[in-house]
Structure 1
Amino acid sequence: MQVIEQKNAVHVQPSGAALGADVAGVDLSQDLSETEQEIIKQAWADNLVLRFRRQPKLEVEDLVRFSRYFGDLDKAPPASTQMGEDFAWQHPEITVISNVVANGKPIGDLGSSEAVWHSDMTYNPKPPKGSALYAIEIPPAGGNTQFANMYLAYETLPDRLKSRIADLRCVHDASRNSAGGLRKGYVDNTDPRETVGATHPMVRVHPVTGKKCLFLGRRRKAYIVGLELEDSEALLNELWQHACQDSFVWTQEWQLGDLVLWDNRCTMHRRDAFDPNTRRLLYRTQVTGEEVLAAAEA
């Protein structure tokens, strides 16, 4: 990938890994020019994940304004714990990701345990197209985020697997979050054939790039429609083992003030566990997505 450098000082440096790039020379606490927006959007399409290092001056309103350059924003999930009713009312687009407990109650979601590989909210008929995550407090160690390139995961599949999954659809579980927590109002069933959530094609076409990618969501309680349970489990296990290999992955080691923007349509991500006695606080926005289209529908 080429380094993009413009006279307006926006500079994009790809990570050299399967995905990811640093964007420098831009202050996200200020309005972006149309040229800056175009450069960043192209870099996002090219690199899938963008990191804006050390943006320490961002207010909540700045994060929301920046995120809206990429589309309308979803409201925070209803089950998401927020920083009090006033915060939720004033900032409905913000999901608080934190292990901090105040007055005996968590102020955010996902705690301090590992968050397994997943794409965000694929249990919805129209999952978010992307997410932006901004670091306000970070622990001294742990809590890193890994991203995996689902274009490459699909492109490197053996032909037999490409043919097998071309027309298959998978049910994406809505009952638990990526840290394993059971969402309010859901029953924890043990049979993936009874999974509640949206059904999507296993191979989707990206609406911007036109490229095919694997679309897996998350592994737990996923079910491939029309297959015997044993066959569904075996095929999903094979696909997941392939999709999460190190050669498709880039790791974000968080620094204070980092903002990371990822394309939820063609990536998956996970988070390392960290010491629950340390503090981690991040704000997340999610850009409203579109219907997931298979190749024949695109």
Structure 2
Amino acid sequence: MHFSIAGTLELAPLSPTFGVDVLNVSAAECAASPDLQALLRAAIAQHLLLRFPEQAVTPDDALALTAAFGPLMDLRSASHVPGRQFLQVLSNGIDADGKRCGDGNNSAQIWHTDAGQWDVPPGISVFYGVLVPPSAPKNGYKNMAQVYAALPQRLKEQIQTLKAVHHMYPRSVDVLVHQKGASLPREQREVGQVQPLVRRHLGSGAPVLYLPSRRDSVILGMPDAASRSLLEELWDFTNQQHHCDWIATTRRGDFVVFDNTALVHNREGWPTSERRDIWHLVTEGEAVTPMFTRKTLNLNSTASVVSEAPAY
């Protein structure tokens, strides 16, 4: 079933609970229209993910459309389109001179949020499919507000005011690094950005489960064994919540805009012999706001701020 916003955007649901295709206008048209951009901001606030299917997008289009959702943020230590500071290239390609065309990575990745180890993580993330290999990998997106809503009450009460350290670990979201990467000494894992396990989604006011990608991350006030046990339990529960997922191949020309404050994402790997190029852009976010504090804690009120799924 398709529906429209103000008779201008034709949207089609991608899953029963979040995500829509934008069908009747192109990404390039939206990049040039402040009126359409205002409608897109309203749409992503409600649906958390927008896909413009199979578009022809220039670097300037990609930059302009992403900037409609907030000031662009430079992804540090990343490969970029030449002359485009904010346009990162995710690619395992090698050019004629033997140099990498992007980050050089074709690994499968676990569920994660972008740059949770930064003091202010990105607000919006964008993927644009430039070159897709025959063994096209799928990207997954998971709604962590819905995951939180599904948590047993016991876990909600346990984590309501806990905070974890999002420490730096090279390629921490790669599946093999996740499975085999040895833990750093605790004193190193205590260095990083401290974030609440339950954050407030600024758009809706809903509580969002906000987890560090490393299961050996330090939860403040807890010994290693207890901290790891709790994070393993939370991630195991998260991985089982398939009703919170949308999974699809990023095709050539797909322009995907998603809310990095409410969704986590992952991807499959693909053969090293096959090249895949994705443009990646992000906008500035806001400092992570704890859902609960000692002054505002009221578990009986949480149901009122959990957004209901849109009626498709």
Distance 1:145 1:6, change over 3 A: same
Paired residue for 1:101?
94
Q: Write the distance in 1 (CA, Å) between the matches of 2:65 and 2:51.
A: 13
Distance 1:51 1:217, change over 3 A: farther
Q: TM-score, normalised by structure 2?
A: 0.85
Q: Which runs of 5+ in 2 are unaligned?
A: 297-312
Tell me if the contact between 2:19 and 2:50 (Cα under 8 Å) persists in the aligned partners.
yes
- The 5 Å alignment of 1:8-87 reads 8=8, 10-30=9-29, 31-56=31-56, 58-77=57-76, 79-82=77-80, 87=82
- The 5 Å alignment of 1:68-147 reads 68-77=67-76, 79-82=77-80, 87=82, 90-102=83-95, 103-109=97-103, 111-147=105-141
Paired residue for 2:276?
280
Q: Write the distance in 1 (CA, Å) between the matches of 2:143 and 2:243.
A: 9
Identity of aligned residues (%): 28
Tell me if the contact between 1:219 and 1:240 (Cα under 8 Å) persists in the aligned partners.
no
Letter in 2 for 1:191: P
| Residue aligned with 1:269, SS | strand
Aligned residues: 286
Tell me if the contact between 1:142 and 1:275 (Cα under 8 Å) persists in the aligned partners.
no
Q: Write the distance in 1 (CA, Å) between the matches of 2:208 and 2:92.
A: 33
Letter in 1 for 2:105: G
Q: Write the distance in 2 (CA, Å) between the matches of 1:244 and 1:212.
A: 18
Q: Is 1:242 matched with 2:237?
A: yes
Letter in 1 for 2:79: T
Tell me if the contact between 1:173 and 1:222 (Cα under 8 Å) persists in the aligned partners.
yes
Deviation track 1:270-292 (CA, whole Å, cap 9, x = no partner) reads 01001111110011111101110
Letter in 2 for 1:81: S
Q: Is 1:212 matched with 2:207?
A: yes
Q: Is 1:194 matched with 2:188?
A: yes
Q: 2:286 aligns with which of 284, 287, 290?
A: 290
Q: 1:167 aligns with which of 137, 161, 165?
A: 161
Cα drift, residue 65 of structure 1: 0.2
Letter in 2 for 1:250: W
Paired residue for 2:262?
266
Cα drift, residue 108 of structure 1: 1.1
Q: TM-score, normalised by structure 1?
A: 0.89
